[in-house]
Chain A
Amino acid sequence: MSDMLHLVEPVIPALRRYARALVRNRAAADDLVQDCLERAVSHWNQRREGDPRPWLFTILHNLAVNHFRRSARQGKHITIDEANEDDFGQDAVQEQKLMYQDVLDKLARLPEDQRAVLLLVAVEDLSYADAARVLDIPIGTVMSRLSRAREKLQQEIEGTADGAPTNVVQLRSMK
């Protein structure tokens, strides 16, 4: 248990970021991370040797998926936190804050499975192989979801998401 503290504690900020980007509500996200950490403590002897980050993200991701299922079943509405000073730090200029808020809104419109891949790979710096392990999908599926997530988010950013066919060059055709 003694190595647990120094292996897991540094990952907590990234776990909070991933949870928040998925559920977009500070309290709900931190509840998920708390749950994740408690499971990590009680199942510490079952992890694989090496970097515990993929293992922790796997636990957190599965909890988030259950959370989404439960919310959907109960028809529970979860408030989405609005941007405020706390969320974006004091120094950021107003325009930049709006831009950040905007991209997060657009990210939220991606299907859950695409969003998860994009966050794990592009934000949390997991390797494609580790992302595949976290999501329990083949690496080829990671790549195709990543491709679709990027295309879709780019269409949202360029405001062409609901528009007519565009001259957008597709890196990978939709499967």
Chain B
Amino acid sequence: MSNRPITEDDLHAYVDGVLESEREAEVAIYLEGHPDMARRVAAFSDQRDLLRKALAPIADEPVPSQLNLSGMIESRRRRSSPVWWAIAAMLMLSIGGVGGWVMRGSLQGSNGGLAALAQEAAYSYSVYAPDRIRPVEMRASDSAQLVQWVSNRLKQPVKLPDLTGSGYRLMGGRLIATSHGPAAMFMYDDDRGDRLVVLTRPMASEQSAPMAPHLGGDVSGFAWADGGMGYSLVGQAAAESLRPIANEVRKQARTI
């Protein structure tokens, strides 16, 4: 038997039946010695019982067809754009590994468009973001050289997005090999150590494309293309919290 005094919270937890058995026994002993309190607790138990019984019939009603969940899932699937599904399929394949390799022909079918870019960004994130030793090749302190290096290799002026306004600091970056040529990868982290990757490269196809989400597995992100350059932002945060950051990257990239 513990010496902890019985609290009001204990009495409510007793009513709700959520105390551990030892504590429950202690409360029961306490109530034996306090008949006034025991009456209140009994009244609360009756009240709880009455409420549950009064509301139980609602849960027993047949669920109206308005709330047909499989119908909602199906109609959402139909509404979703083919692009979204293509990207989701890519990510599923990338998670599949062997499956992704076997299906490489169909991936290349995208001709280096947005879906391919999204996949490359997801790959880069999964390879480099978990790296605790050398996630980037050039650190943020050398950001001027980093920009010059990737701009030379991409044969395009690359602007380094500044995400401090969104709470993310530049860690650095590196050059990434893709089947559509070199790409620049920049990595950022926030105060909690959550990392973001921005990937950019020239686009052979889909040189200009609106921002589209890519979701799947445990990374999410957005991809878009502007003026011949493709961009993808990938992270582990919820897609909706990444959207404003992606918008910020797009805005900054347009002001080269």
Contact = CB atoms under 8 A, between A and B. Distances in A.
B47 A154 contact: yes
B50 A147 contact: no
B69 A12 contact: yes
A146 B44 CA distance: 11
Contacts of B40: 154, 168-169, 171
Given A14-B59, A17-B55, A169-B40, A30 B47 contact: no
A5 B73 contact: yes
Given A13-B59, A41-B72, A30 B54 contact: no
A59 interface: no
Given A16-B59, A46-B238, A99 B67 contact: no
B253 interface: no
Contacts of B8: 143, 147, 171-172
A127 B19 CA distance: 11
B239 A100 contact: no
B37 interface: yes
A46 B236 CA distance: 10
Query: Secondary structure of the A side of the interface?
Result: helix
A157 interface: yes
A123 B55 contact: yes
A121 interface: yes
A143 B54 contact: no
Contacts of B48: 122
A9 B69 contact: yes
A155 B232 CA distance: 60
22 contacts: A9-B69, A16-B63, A17-B59, A33-B67, A37-B67, A38-B76, A45-B239, A46-B239, A46-B240, A99-B50, A100-B50, A121-B16, A122-B15, A122-B51, A123-B51, A123-B55, A127-B18, A143-B8, A143-B12, A154-B40, A154-B43, A169-B39
